[in-house]
Amino acid sequence: MRPYLEEARSRVARLICADPTEIVFTSGATEADNQAIKGTAYALSRKGNHLITTRTEHPAVLNTLAYLESRGFAVTYLDVDRMGLVDPDDVRRAIRKETILISVMHANNETGALQPVREIGAVARSAEVLFHSDMAQDMGKIGIDVRELNVDLAAFSGHKVYAPKGVGALYVRKGIAIDNLIHGGSQEMGRRAGTENMIGAVAFGKACEAAMDEIAEETRRMEFLRGRLLEGILALVPDVHLNGDPLRRLPNTLNLSFQYVEAESLLIALDLAGIAVSAGSACSSGSTEPSHVLLAMGIDPLLCQSALRISLGRDNTEEDIDYALEVIPQAVGRLRAMSPLARRA
């Protein structure tokens, strides 16, 4: 079975322009984030105890850093602008002599906004500080070259590229030594103990191979469908706000605030019509709190409560867009007719 595992490792590596020996299979991006952050913190704790991140990171990063804070580490949380982007100069200014890790995601999981990771990585290299990026949202949607992006550690999730859930990968640049998260046997070249999820890893590898063959065409197709959907909604529905940078973003993701409408009510209405969207992050499902990402961007809390994330995938067609443009305006109109805020506007 070992040859199948190593072929899968090579396929994952090819998709992100890495060497196969730099790929560690994990149970998903959350585990990969944990190993990258905790592993660096404990491996370099004698050098320093300071880490840098942004306020818009995924909970897998934010909650891991909160754990480290409870263990005596110091964390700087950088602000982002209205588009959801952090300024690389703010990263540079936040670095101290005791800084050991910078963690900034590439594509935001709620807005799709793309952070200036290459520039931040250059800042980190210049300061001789390790740089980690959660890249779970990128895979299969845009081209990834971990070397060109100047990252030392990166987390990936198999199901984002249509592999089964429960498998992911951590990229560890050659020469980087971090502590293990899971201890036991010598699997994964001694970097992650426990019997590998062979079926998941092989499926992940095949999914990466398929993505590599189609990514350029699929990116163009997603951009076209996303653009048509956005233009249609803005033309048909008044008082809609796009959240996140309009240009520097994933090709398949929209985050829209429908003013005077509660997102959960709109989500239910669309679900009943067969349209699957989400309110905020999929990982915060069930929470009634406004999105921490949108709040960090300075968006009004009422608009945060009216925000929906719309993601497109390989199975979506132009007919789906046409259907959505029929249903969404009708659903928004019905809900606004019942909204006291809309009637007062």
Indicate which residues carry an active-site annotation: 283
Yes or no: say if 311 and 255 are a contact pair by the CB < 8 Å rule. Answer: no
Which residue is listed with tokens 């850093």?
65
Which residues contact residue 265 at a Cβ distance below 8 angstroms, ignoring those fewer than 6 apart?
Answer: 335
Among 273, 260, 275, smallest CA distance to 307 is for 260
Phi, psi of 157 (to 5 degrees): -125, 130
User: Which residues are paired to 330 by β-bridges?
Assistant: none
Helices 263-272 and 318-337, packing angle to 10 deg: 130
- In the chain, what is the straight-line distance between the N-terminal and C-terminal CA atoms, in Å? 65
Buried b (16+ CB within 10 A) or exposed e, 304-323: bbbbbbbbbeeebeeebbee
> What are all long-range contacts of 310-317, with beta carbons under 8 Å and residues at least 24 apart?
310/229, 310/253, 310/254, 310/255, 310/256, 310/277, 311/252, 311/253, 311/254, 311/277, 311/278, 312/222, 312/225, 312/226, 312/229, 312/252, 312/253, 313/252, 314/162, 314/218, 316/225
Tokens of 59: 């909970």
Angstrom distance (rounded) from CA 131 to CA 129: 6
